[in-house]
Structure 1
Amino acid sequence: MKTKLLLLMLALFCVTSVSFAQKKSKQLSFISGKVNISKYHEREELDRMPKGKLLQLYIERIEVIVNILPNIAFATSKNVTMNDLGIPITKENVKALEDNIEASTVYFDSTIEFQKKILPYSDTRDLITAILFYESTLKSLYTYNDFKSN
């Protein structure tokens, strides 16, 4: 009985270790957060909005910009991996990308925390101007490939 139990436990151990060894981790993407906004606005439309809605729009645009712009040399859309770009999948490269993702997350979280506390004190006209500027920046991403030489 003890021998059968020992063999069963050994077989179970072997099966679980093989299954974990064969499991491939999902490749990390350069851009994994929000990469677009739902709507672009005209100044007149923003002028009619309450400040609370303007704050939400401002923060949404910051999120998209923080996710895309630092990695624009690699990608402008979601789910582009090192493998897609021909970058060798080495421990060092994966670690560098993981560190970059973590740093971006920490930066974004602290920026949003700050914005939620301080942004309500901003002038509404300046807030509208900033939203329009961010939207203009985001629109220009559609023409990014026009700057690439063939």
Structure 2
Amino acid sequence: MKSKIIFLSVLFFLTTAAVSAQAKNAPRSIISTTALIRKYHDQKELSGMQKGELLELYIERIKVLVKTLPYIALVTKPGVTMADLGIPDDGDHKKILDNQAVGTSTFLDTTVEFQRKMMPYSDKGNLIAAILFYENTLKSLHEFNELNEM
């Protein structure tokens, strides 16, 4: 009985190590796969929302823009990897991509903290206008992508 427990424990640790190693070597997306908008809104719909809901939409759109705009000369959609673009998937390029991800994350943490503290003081109409502006910018990225594919 004791040998079965030891055997299963060793098997579990080896399986965990193998899965972990595969995850580290898996190609990473240049644009974060979390850089997606679930739904676009119109002014009437936004006007019916509470300020707290608007603030969350505002922050979500900022996150998507920050995770997308710096890369549009390379790619405009999440899920595209360096290998997909012909960029060597070597240690130097991985390190640069990792450093960029850390920098983006740090920037977003600071920005979201600022937004949560300061934006509740903004005018609801200005918040709605900003959300619509951000959404139009994101829609323009889709148009950019379509033009780029021609």
- Counterpart residue identity of residue 67, structure 1: K
Q: Number of paired residues?
A: 132
Indicate conservation of the 8 Å contact 2:29/2:80, yes or no: yes
Unaligned runs of 5+ in 2: 1-13
The 3-state SS of whatever aligns with 2:108 is helix
Partner of 2:97: 97
Partner of 1:118: 118
Equivalent-residue separation in structure 2 for 1:114 and 1:149 (angstroms): 37
Shift of 1:146: 3.7
Partner of 2:71: 71
Partner of 2:139: 139
Indicate conservation of the 8 Å contact 1:58/1:130, yes or no: yes
The 3-state SS of whatever aligns with 1:143 is helix
**Does the alignment pair 1:56 with 2:56?**
yes
Indicate conservation of the 8 Å contact 1:33/1:64, yes or no: no
Structure with greater Cα Rg: 1
Equivalent-residue separation in structure 2 for 1:54 and 1:104 (angstroms): 23
Unaligned runs of 5+ in 1: 1-15
Equivalent-residue separation in structure 1 for 2:36 and 2:149 (angstroms): 25
Equivalent-residue separation in structure 1 for 2:144 and 2:120 (angstroms): 33
- Counterpart residue identity of residue 116, structure 2: K
Equivalent-residue separation in structure 2 for 1:92 and 1:144 (angstroms): 29
- Counterpart residue identity of residue 99, structure 1: N
31-40 vs 114-123, which moves further: 31-40
Cα deviation per residue 1:64-115 (whole Å; 9 max; x = unaligned)?
1111111112222222111111011232211111111111111111111111
* Superposed CA RMSD: 2.1
Partner of 1:107: 107
Equivalent-residue separation in structure 2 for 1:55 and 1:129 (angstroms): 12
Equivalent-residue separation in structure 2 for 1:149 and 1:47 (angstroms): 36
**TM-score, with structure 2 as normaliser:** 0.78
